[in-house]
Amino acid sequence: MRLELGKIFIHDVVFGDQTKVEGGVLTINKAEMLEEIGGDEHIASIDIDIAKPGESVRITPVKDVIEPRVKVEGSGQIFPGLLNKVGTVGEGRTHALSGMAVVTTGKIVGFQEGIIDMIGEGAKYTPFSKLINVVITAEPVEDLKQHAHEKAVRMIGLKAARYLGEAGRNVEPNEVKTYETKPLLQQVQEYPDLPKVLYVYMLQTQGLLHDTYVYGVDAKQIVPTILYPTEIMDGAILSGNCVSACDKNPSYVHLNNGIVEELYEKHGKEINFLGVVITNENVYLMDKERSSNWTAKLCTYLGADAVIVSQEGFGNPDTDLIMNCKKIENEGIKTVIVTDEYAGRDGASQSLADADEKANAVVTGGNANQVVVLPKLDKVIGHLDFIDVIAGGFDGSLREDGSIEVEIQAITGATNETGYGYLTAKTF
C-alpha cells in the first residue's frame, strides 16, 4: 500500500462564521459544529472550548485525543468501521490538520482518565500541551451506564475530528510524505541485503472500559493478524479505553505512532520494514498463551530478523509483553520491547510485573510513579472533583490552594509506550 500523508500546519484556531482553513488558521463555526456532533440521547449537554499552548488552562478528565484527518483520494474513509463503512484504508491520499487536536472531556467515566495542562509543570510531561486543542465537554444524562457513556463521548470526539478534518480537504498541504509497504514477497526482494524488521503492536483489550477498536471491531475478539503500517496511519485503529492516562494510546497516538514513523525513516536505508503484527492484551492465561503463540508464529512465518514490541498499559499486560518477547526470541528473532515503568516513587521497586532474561533489550518511557506538583491554573475545562481517586491520585491530591500533587501516571501521555512523549531512563 502507498499512502501520501499531507500535513496542513495549523498555527491558530478561532471561532468564526465559517469552518475553514486559511493561512494556517482554522476557523470554526461553533454552532454548526455543535449541530454536527450533537444529537446523542445519552448526552445532556455539549460545549466547545479552545485551549492553546502557554495558556493557564487545565483540561481534565481527558478521555481521548484525536487528530482531525480527511481521506482525499483512495479507498475507504477516515475512522472506518466506527463512523464510516469498513472499506480498507491505508492507500491514496490523506490530509491531516497538524499542530492541533480534538480533546474530549466531561464527567468522569472510569477512574483512569487524565490531565492535560497547557502551561506549568504538568505541561512538561504531556506532548499534547504543545498542540492547539479543540476541547469538547460532553456531559452525560443522569444514571447513564459507564459503557454507554464511554461510547457516546468516543463517537462525539470522532465526529468532531471528522468535521474539522473536512476543512482541510481542498487545502494544499505544507508537507507531503509518501509511505509505502509492498506485498510481502516484493518487499523482501526489494532490499534483500537489509535486516527484515516487524513491529508487534500490542493493543489494550482487557475489557471493563479497556478496549481498542480495529476497523470498528473490539480487538479482544481478534487473534493476532497483519496490517499494513499505512492502515494504522489512516485510522484503522482507534482508542476506546480508560487505561491509566500516562500510558494509554489515545487515537492521536495511533494515527501518529512514532515507532511506525521511525521504521519508515530507516526503511530502505538500514532496515527492510515488512509491516505490523497487531495483537491483544488478555486477562486470562489461556488467552495470553494463544495470542503470544500466534504472534511468535506470525513473526517467524513472515521471516523477520528483528522485532520491536510495544505495550499499552501496565501490570497484567506486562505478562503479555514478556510472553511475546520470550516466544519471539525463542524463534531466533532479535527482539526489543518498549514499555514504561512502575518502579515506586523512589524508583527502587521492580519496574514490571513480569520479567524474563530474554527481555534484555528494553526502551522505557519513564517511571509513572514519579510524583509532581501541578500549580493551580486560571481555567479548568472539565471537572476537578475526581482528582483524589484517579489512577495516580490519592487522598489529598487536590490541595486546598487549588494545586494538585499526583503521580505522573495521571498526566495524559506522560510515559507513552510508543515513545510519543519526553521521558525515558538509562541503565548505568
What count of Cα atoms within 13 Å lies in the side-chain half-sphere of residue 134?
33
Angle, helix 316-330 to helix 285-301, in steps of 10 degrees:
30
Nine cell digits for residue 377: 491554573
Q: How many helices (H) and strands (E) does the chain have?
A: 8, 25
Q: Report DSSP letters for 206-254, one per residue.
A: -SSSEEEEETTEEGGGPPPEEE-HHHHHTTSEEEEE---TTT---HHHH
**Side chain identity at residue 289, one-letter code:** E
CA dist 421 and 414 (Å) reads 6
Q: Which of 242, 246, 299, 325 is catalytic?
A: 242
Nine cell digits for residue 139: 456531559
Taken in order 186, 189, 194, 195, the sign of the CA dihedral is: positive
Q: Determine how many CB atoms are found less than 10 A away from the CB of residue 245.
A: 31
* Structural element, H or E, at residue 328: helix 316-330
**Side chain identity at residue 168, one-letter code:** G
CA dist 86 and 100 (Å) reads 26
Please check whether residue 102 is in contact with residue 136, taking contact to mean a CB–CB distance below 8 angstroms: yes
Q: Does 299 qualify as catalytic in the annotation?
A: no
Q: Which residues are catalytic?
A: 242
